[in-house]
Copies of this chain bind each other. A is one copy, B any other.
């Protein structure tokens, strides 16, 4: 088995997808931010308007999805047609899900992963003044569909 991103000189390339078929692609990725109960309480109530931290994280994730091919060197530029992000909160976890779609020749899993992890880091940034040991874990693909390799469901 070989890494398709490595060329004949043993260095990286952007894989040739010129001949691949345009299909509808979708991918959902997750990321989890782990905070203390005290921090979660502040996220829920600390802003005058409930949940503002999450609003900023949402915008950050959506904008990051569009920047994926600038951030991940071997990613192809893609014309995303949909980005949506949701948050589920427990007492100590913010579970983020990002779903991205496009019509194109390559999948959108890196876009979904970039959206989820950027939303997570944005939550971290806005809460780091009140808790210094926040972690981000479980960045993973949940679902992917539309390409030659078939559906993936974790």
Residues of A bordering B, CB below 8 Å: 1-18, 20, 24, 38, 42-43, 46-56, 58-60, 62-67, 69-87, 101-105, 109-110, 113-114, 117-118, 120-122, 124-130, 132-141, 144, 149, 152, 154
Q: Whole-angstrom distance between the alpha carbons of A47 and B6 in the complex?
A: 6
Q: Whole-angstrom distance between the alpha carbons of A16 and B5 in the complex?
A: 30
**Is A67's CB under 8 angstroms from B66's CB?**
no
Given contacts A3-B47, A130-B3, contact A71 B64 (CB under 8 A): yes
Q: Whole-angstrom distance between the alpha carbons of A9 and B110 in the complex?
A: 24
A62 to chain B, nearest CB (A): 5
User: How many protomers of this protein does the assembly include?
Assistant: 6
A69 to chain B, nearest CB (A): 6
Given contacts A49-B49, A56-B74, A62-B74, contact A121 B114 (CB under 8 A): yes
Given contacts A76-B81, A133-B154, A140-B136, contact A87 B9 (CB under 8 A): yes
A97 to chain B, nearest CB (A): 11
Tell me which of A52, A109, A135 has the highest count of chain B C-beta atoms within 10 A of its own C-beta. Answer: A52
**Is B136's CB under 8 angstroms from A11's CB?**
no
Instruction: For A18, give the chain B residue with the smallest CB separation.
Output: B81
Given contacts A12-B126, A79-B79, A140-B136, contact A71 B1 (CB under 8 A): no
**Is A9's CB under 8 angstroms from B86's CB?**
yes
28 A–B contact pairs at CB < 8 A? A3-B47, A3-B126, A3-B129, A5-B53, A5-B56, A5-B125, A8-B86, A10-B48, A11-B49, A11-B55, A12-B59, A12-B62, A13-B58, A16-B82, A16-B101, A18-B101, A20-B81, A55-B55, A62-B74, A66-B77, A67-B71, A71-B71, A71-B121, A73-B122, A75-B125, A77-B79, A113-B121, A117-B136
